[in-house]
Structure 1
Amino acid sequence: MSSADEILDVVDENDRVVGRARRGDVYDRGLRHRCVFVWARDPEGRVFVHRRTASKLVFPALYDMFVGGVVGAGESYDDAALREAEVAWYGFLSEGELEQRVGEGVWEFVPDGAAAYARLRAWRGAR
């Protein structure tokens, strides 16, 4: 089975399951579905950054500052986070180094990870 054939829970704005569909259909139709984002740091406070595998259905071989991905139908968020921890490359960057890499455009980051990172930075600034 390809990842496009994986069955996902379709959810409403309150994370209640309202149906199920193939991942490919969920993406094509822009249906709301569950995903996980894990922000990981090492003991020195550096952020875990990785490059996605080339076999990913969307954004193959791009960089991300979150470990995460789509939650399968009936799968828990914790199980999905653990399953998604397989990557092609990783390293730990200080937040300054990460911000520089995101800003300079040399590394192409996944759009949803970059958007989540921007929201995290805005949320931190609002506190």
Structure 2
Amino acid sequence: MDELVERVDEQDKVLDVVGRSAAVRHGWLHRVASIVCRDPEGRLLVHRRPDGVPRYPGQFNWMLGGAAGVGESYEAAAARELSEELGVRADPRLVFKFRCAGPYLLGVHEVVVTPPTRPDPGEIAWHTWLTEGELAEFVNHEAFIPDARAVFRRYQERQGLPR
């Protein structure tokens, strides 16, 4: 069964409830929550997606996340995704929201994660922790998800990080 999402307008007002695959296929705007995970030393989580997944198989990402369900806030979706993908319960903090080319409204959240973690092998094939400088170099890797690269650039600007 297709995951249901809220189709929204540019102001994030709900227009309709649709299947996520239809939203992607037709280019309908919908909500997605992402989570930037830092360890207590401030390093950022980077992971590789499993080879068998339909979206971005074997590619690298620096965020966790997924679509917000019907009636689910960005923050609740981020907390759910963090638990599902990394096995961590926490309350990620919304940092900023913007329209991605996806087409979706992306809520970017942050959370400090204290290991150990329990990554879901269906979502995360491999992971490590990188400094901001190391990640700034790694996002240029050809196997890095293009949307994730664009979000990293925007994150750097928002946080006042050097580029």
In the superposition, the TM-score normalised over structure 2's length comes to: 0.66
Q: Deviations over 1:68-105 (max 9, x none)?
A: 121122223233223323133221101111111112x2
Moved over 6 A (4+): none
How far off is 1:66 after superposition? 1.2
Superposed, which structure 2 residues align to 1:1-127 within 5 Å?
1=1, 5-85=2-82, 86=85, 87-103=124-140, 105=141, 108-125=143-160
Supply the distance in 1 between the matched residues of 2:18 and 2:51 (Cα, whole angstroms).
24
Supply the distance in 1 between the matched residues of 2:57 and 2:80 (Cα, whole angstroms).
17
Unaligned runs of 5+ in 1: none
Unaligned runs of 5+ in 2: 86-123
In structure 2, relative to structure 1, the CA distance for the partners of 1:34 and 1:49 (3 Å cut) is: same
SS of alignment partner, residue 37 of structure 1? strand
**What is the Cα-based RMSD across aligned positions, in Å?**
2.0
Sequence identity (%): 40
How far off is 1:38 after superposition? 1.3
In the superposition, the TM-score normalised over structure 1's length comes to: 0.82
Give the structure with the larger helix fraction.
1
In structure 2, relative to structure 1, the CA distance for the partners of 1:81 and 1:55 (3 Å cut) is: farther
In structure 2, relative to structure 1, the CA distance for the partners of 1:55 and 1:71 (3 Å cut) is: farther
Give the structure with the larger strand fraction.
2
